[in-house]
Amino acid sequence: MQPLRGTKDILPYEIKLWQQIYNVANEILTANNYYEIRTPILENTELFNKGIGNFTDIVNKEMYSFNDQGERNITLRPEGTASIARAFISNKLYLKQKINRLWYLGPMFRYERPQRGRQRQFHQLGIECIGSSLPIADVEVIRLAIKTLDALGFKEYILEINSIGNMAERDIYKNDLIKYLKLYQNDLDRDSQKKLLTNPLRILDSKNLNTQTILQQAPKLKNYLNEKSLDHFKYVCNSLKYLNIAYKINDYLVRGLDYYNCTAFEIKMKKLSNQNTICGGGRYDTLIEQLGGPYTPSVGWAIGIERLITIKNKNFHLNKPQNIIYIAHQEILDKYKIWDILDILENYEIKFELDLSNNNLYKQIKRANQMKAKICLILGEEEIKLKYITIKWLETGTQQKIHLSKFYNYLKYIKQQLET
């Protein structure tokens, strides 16, 4: 039996890396007063149809949707923001405080062609700053994305930003863009020809070289923005300069979700040509109202965890593994003393492994050496009879006999040695 195409087992040695990502994010985001939230993997399909947009690739091609036994139309969530917006509404978080800062890390599902760094079950780390229309909120979330990537050891990236204006501005621009592109309709790639009828703004993000050439002379969205939108974007850019956060304005950056407005941004790795976007986000002022909640301007981002791990940046390393105490024991009558020893080790927060084999002491100690344990605690028949524990320091071969009554205090010394 093999895992389904586009899914992957996360094995124990890999989990350490996932935990490091979680711990780094938790430390940074908690310090900035963001609170973790966990939403269900299953949602009503209508949530994503309304929130993401009927003409997006996600809704049209990529969602895992099905009818459950109650004939409800259910979808495995393809992204995190719509679920957070739904949770904000259904739990009436807007009644508790005006600004809600939330973050999440969890699995998402899209029926895409699996490739390096892209799976059908994938994971996102994301944040949502809910309740502020001020551009300072945009800067806050971008700063936190940069801070998180820096803390994880990622340096070779570029921040691309754009303003995609509000719905009214985009509607006027969209009409002019369609008029222009229709002049070259037969020269566009097949996917862009389809989008011309359904979601023309997404053509701006085309990777087809011929389509990109055609777009060079197309109308620019920035020329359709009013003073308010321009001032908002100007504040974001000036603040990034003040923070010494390098950025590039990309006039063709629109993102793939319909709910975005004003600021949109992506963070891309410099050395990769394809699949190099590791973070994407932007402002979404109308999504919550569109889903039935009060008008609540918001901004956020999401980082793809698998893509982060795939990049394998040389500075992205695991924390130094903890030293392990291995506990070897004989087949003896009074083994209950082992549980007292384990309790003491847990009280001192010392990592240990209890041997569960039926091997003799020699083989158990050999196993301790193979694991590169620093210490092996030996509990044999003589130890039980005389109420002591044999402590074997595996690097030097030195052995000590410590009476059980003194073992608790002796662990203070052991812990100091393990931490040096």
Of 416, 371, 370, 365, nearest to 391 by C-alpha is 365
Q: Is 259 among the annotated ligand-binding positions?
A: yes
Helices (H), 91-158: 135-151
Q: Is 5 annotated as a binding residue?
A: no
Ligand-binding annotation for 70, yes or no, is no
- Could you count the other beta carbons within 10 Å of the beta carbon of residue 80? 25
Residue 85: CB atoms within 10 A of its CB come to 28
110 annotated binding-site participant: yes
3-state secondary structure of 111: coil
Q: Is 81 annotated as a binding residue?
A: yes
Q: 7 labelled as ligand-binding? A: no
- In order of 107, 149, 318, the CA distances from 24 in angstroms are 18, 9, 12
Extract the tokens encoding 200.
């023309």
Report the C-alpha gap between 141 and 128 in whole angstroms: 8
Tokens coding 213? 């050439």
283 is in an annotated binding site: no
Helix residue ranges per DSSP H, 55-166: 57, 81-90, 135-151
Question: β-strands 398-403, 388-393: how paired?
Answer: antiparallel
The CB density around residue 171, as the number of other CB atoms within 10 Å, is 11
392's tokens:
């074997």
Residue labelled with tokens 């695991």: 318
Q: Are 216 and 251 in contact (CB under 8 A)?
A: no
Please report the beta strands in 22-120, taking only residues with DSSP state E, as ranges in sequence order.
Answer: 35-36, 42-44, 64-67, 73-76, 100-109
Beta partners for 267? 159, 279
Q: What is the 3-state secondary structure (H, E, C) of 136-196?
A: HHHHHHHHHHHHHHHHCCCCCEEEEEEECCCHHHHHHHHHHHHHHHHCCHHHCCHHHHHHH
Binding annotation:
79-81, 110, 124, 128, 255, 259-260
- List binding-site positions for L-histidine: 79-81, 110, 124, 128, 255, 259-260
